[in-house]
């Protein structure tokens, strides 16, 4: 069965090479925060319920409050996005509803340009619906070439727009000699979130990305130099 980005998220494949905090089953979804790493198991379980509700069912901007014995806070749902296609685990572009993601991709293909007006489809086949059209000359970032098929998964203005047949693409002027091609990866359904926690008269506020890996939500690791926000 074809996997769609916003349908049956818990059945999606694992992020094949991503790094993150593997939580679930009573673990601490705030451990990415210096302050959150200090809370008790009881507090972490109270947080977990709110976190799972936010990333699985929350509308963008919807807030889920929680309170444990010693700590309290909230998790606010943000947009859905596609993870595991970029070197940075937090680089998670938005994507249209219904986009097919049950492929393996050769990632990091680089910048291309359209040779003519192109149909952008929701899947790597001429049988898949056309989502939109882009004019000749449009710049396109190819985040992944479908392994074994002549289709490219394209990004435009920070959003994954869909699939373009490779015959309609050429390397963008000035990038012809750039090396392209990263590791083969599978995409993952992810969710952006904002989180606040208060503990021992201190508070922390941060944003992050969680990806579904084999039915478990995994918080993606922030860069080592990410500033700590303690209030």
Q: Mean pLDDT throughout 30-51?
A: 90
Q: Where are the alpha helices (DSSP H) in the chain?
A: 41-57
Q: Give the whole-angstrom CA distance, residue 151 versus residue 225.
A: 37
Residue 62 has pLDDT above 90, yes or no: yes
Find the length of the chain: 231
Answer for the pair 4, 187: CB distance below 8 angstroms, yes or no.
no
- d(CA 20, CA 37) in angstroms, rounded, equals 14
Find out if CATH 3.10.640.10 is the number for domain 104-185: no
d(CA 219, CA 200): 24
Query: Which whole number is the average pLDDT over 213-227?
Result: 74
Backbone angles phi and psi of 183, in degrees to 5? -70, 155
**Confidence label for 87 from pLDDT (cuts 50, 70 and 90):** confident
Instruction: Determine the pLDDT at residue 158.
Output: 86
Question: Is the pLDDT confidence value at 19 over 90?
Answer: no
Residue 76's pLDDT band (cuts 50, 70, 90): very high
Residues spanned by CATH 2.30.30.40 within the chain?
104-185
pLDDT mean across residues, the chain: 83
């Amino acid at each position: 069965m074809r996997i769609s980005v916003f349908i049956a998220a818990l059945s999606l494949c694992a992020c094949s090479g991503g790094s993150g905090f593997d939580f679930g089953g009573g673990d601490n979804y705030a451990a990415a925060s210096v302050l959150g790493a200090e809370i008790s198991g009881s507090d972490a379980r109270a947080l977990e319920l709110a976190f799972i509700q936010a990333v699985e069912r929350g509308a963008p901007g919807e807030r889920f409050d929680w309170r444990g014995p010693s700590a309290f806070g909230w998790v606010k749902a943000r947009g859905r996005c596609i993870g595991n296609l970029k070197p940075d685990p937090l680089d998670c572009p938005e994507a249209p509803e219904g986009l097919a993601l049950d492929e393996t991709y050769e990632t990091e293909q680089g910048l291309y340009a359209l040779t003519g007006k192109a149909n952008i489809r929701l899947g790597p086949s001429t049988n898949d619906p056309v989502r939109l059209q882009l004019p000749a000359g449009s710049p396109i970032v190819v985040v992944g070439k479908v392994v074994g098929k002549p289709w490219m998964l394209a990004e435009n203005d920070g959003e994954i727009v869909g699939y373009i047949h490779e015959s309609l693409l050429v390397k963008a002027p000035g990038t012809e000699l750039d090396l392209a091609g990263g590791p083969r990866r599978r995409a993952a359904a992810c969710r952006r979130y904002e989180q606040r926690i208060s503990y021992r008269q201190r508070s922390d506020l941060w944003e992050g990305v969680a990806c579904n890996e084999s039915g478990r939500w995994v918080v993606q690791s922030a860069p080592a130099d990410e500033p700590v926000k303690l209030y």
